[in-house]
């Protein structure tokens, strides 16, 4: 049986006891019906798993003793920054969830011309926090001990002007002359820009190209925004990341 795994937002120190966070405590005691003495894996985003043993289970509180820190070799050798134009409904949640499962290192939500969702102020921060929690849940499920940060949403032109350093900058465009296997193999870091429903506008694609982005196509078919991101990340991991070593 797989040892249950829970996110814990605080410090985890072997030899110390800690109270599981609310959702984790409820899941352990009510959904999984764990008992005193059962083992669990805790992680807090520092890159380690922490083997722990439950020492007390009460109605509203679950206490675990941290036994030892363990390495967690689940990170890809390829760093991928996903700049994802904000999509509507559950599509953005789905994209973030699957991108984290596929091993992206960070996520940058982008406002583009065709983005349907408009966010400002407190509403924008609440949505960012929600997306960060989606990423945490995906790490919990997929076995990752490093949590990709979800940055505050930003306009495409602003992000392009301050984009992070990378070995390769890639965006998808139907009919582009190149495919991923035709590109020079990046050594460490890729920035991947994905458009919203309807794709990036022509002038946005041109602007991205001016900022060093290579246009590639993902086969002969037009993909939904959430499909495009996952297909591209999976292809990159196959070509240059998870399956190389």
What is d(CA 231, CA 240) in angstroms, rounded to the nearest whole number? Answer: 14
The tens digit of pLDDT for each residue in 159-177 reads 999 999 999 999 999 889 9
CATH architecture of 79-240: 3-Layer(aba) Sandwich (3.40)
Answer whether 59's CB lies under 8 Å from 159's CB.
Answer: no
**In the prediction, which pLDDT does 176 show?**
93
**In the prediction, which pLDDT does 124 show?**
84
Complete DSSP assignment for 82-138: EEEE--STTHHHHHHHHHHHTT-SEEEEEE-TT------HHHHHHHHHHHHHHHHHH
**In the prediction, which pLDDT does 59 show?**
75
**In the prediction, which pLDDT does 245 show?**
62
What is d(CA 222, CA 198) in angstroms, rounded to the nearest whole number? Answer: 10
Answer whether 54's CB lies under 8 Å from 63's CB.
Answer: yes
What is d(CA 67, CA 181) in angstroms, rounded to the nearest whole number? Answer: 45
* Beta pairing class for 79-85 and 62-71: unpaired
Decide if 5-71 and 79-240 have a common fold.
Answer: no
**In the prediction, which pLDDT does 29 show?**
85
Answer whether 78's CB lies under 8 Å from 94's CB.
Answer: no
The tens digit of pLDDT for each residue in 26-65 reads 888 888 898 999 999 999 999 999 999 999 998 778 999 9
Answer whether 105's CB lies under 8 Å from 79's CB.
Answer: yes
What is d(CA 234, CA 103) in angstroms, rounded to the nearest whole number? Answer: 9
Low-confidence ranges of the chain (pLDDT < 50): none
What is d(CA 175, CA 172) in angstroms, rounded to the nearest whole number? Answer: 9
Considering only CA atoms, which of 85, 17, 34 is closest in space to residue 5? 34
Topology of the domain covering 5-71: Ribosomal Protein L25; Chain P (2.40.240)
- List the chain domain ranges: 5-71, 79-240
What is d(CA 33, CA 16) in angstroms, rounded to the nearest whole number? Answer: 23
What is d(CA 204, CA 110) in angstroms, rounded to the nearest whole number? Answer: 12
Considering only CA atoms, which of 30, 18, 17 is closest in space to residue 58? 30
The pTM (predicted TM-score) of the whole model is 0.92
Residue 77: both structure tokens together:
């050798």
């Amino acid at each position: 049986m797989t040892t249950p795994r829970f996110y814990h937002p605080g410090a985890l120190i072997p030899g110390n006891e800690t109270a599981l966070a609310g959702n984790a405590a409820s899941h352990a005691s009510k959904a999984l019906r764990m008992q005193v003495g059962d083992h669990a894996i805790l992680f807090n985003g520092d890159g380690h798993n922490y083997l722990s043993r439950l020492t007390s289970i009460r109605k509203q509180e679950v206490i675990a003793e941290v036994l030892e820190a363990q390495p967690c070799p689940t990170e890809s050798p390829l760093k991928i920054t996903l700049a994802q134009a904000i999509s509507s409904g559950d599509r953005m949640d789905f994209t973030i969830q699957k991108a984290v499962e596929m091993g992206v290192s960070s996520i940058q939500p982008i406002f583009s011309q065709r983005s349907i969702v408009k966010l400002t102020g407190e509403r924008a921060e609440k949505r960012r926090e929600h997306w960060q929690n989606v990423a945490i849940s995906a790490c919990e499920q997929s076995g990752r001990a490093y949590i990709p940060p979800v940055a505050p949403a930003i306009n495409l032109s602003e992000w392009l002007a301050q984009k992070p350093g990378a070995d390769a900058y890639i965006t998808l465009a139907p009919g582009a002359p190149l495919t991923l296997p035709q590109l020079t193999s990046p050594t460490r870091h890729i920035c991947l820009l994905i458009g919203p429903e309807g794709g990036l506008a022509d002038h946005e694609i041109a602007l991205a190209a001016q900022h060093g982005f290579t246009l590639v196509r993902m086969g002969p078919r037009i993909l939904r925004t959430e499909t495009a991101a996952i297909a591209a990340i999976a292809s990159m991991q196959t070509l240059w990341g998870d399956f190389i070593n």
